[in-house]
Amino acid sequence: MVAALCVAWTLKDTSWEGLRASLASARVEALAAYVATLLGVHVTRVLRWQSLLAGIERVPLRRLNEAAAIGFMMLIVLPFRLGELARPYLIA
């Protein structure tokens, strides 16, 4: 809910024609490289958490993936990197 409100507030003064023109002129290969890099970073973080927790308890990859995604979103929404606290809480 908070994320939706933040997105709505961010987009309230958006020039939709300017956005369309910008997206039309974007290089598809650059956008694909960005998405691939972002996905790679996310997978690396999930595997790192799995490795760190291997000696303590086996946590399902799906649970780690969900916790990492929610934690990353909370890093964006909350101040002072408070989203870092969400991951351990969600994994526990």
User: pTM score > 0.75 for this model?
Assistant: no
Residue position matching structure tokens 């956005």: 19
* Region of residue 80 (left: phi > 0; alpha: psi -120 to 50; beta: else): left
Which pLDDT does position 41 carry in this prediction? 93
pLDDT of residue 84: 83
Domain ranges (residues) in the chain: 27-91
Tens digit of pLDDT at every position of the chain (92 positions): 777 887 888 888 889 999 899 989 999 999 999 999 999 999 999 999 999 999 898 999 999 999 988 888 888 888 888 888 888 888 88
- Widest pairwise Cα distance in the chain: 53
* Nearest-10 Cα torsion for 36, 44, 84, 56: 160
* pLDDT at site 28: 92
Type of residue found at 7? V
Q: Ramachandran region of residue 4, left (φ > 0), alpha (ψ -120 to 50) or beta?
A: alpha
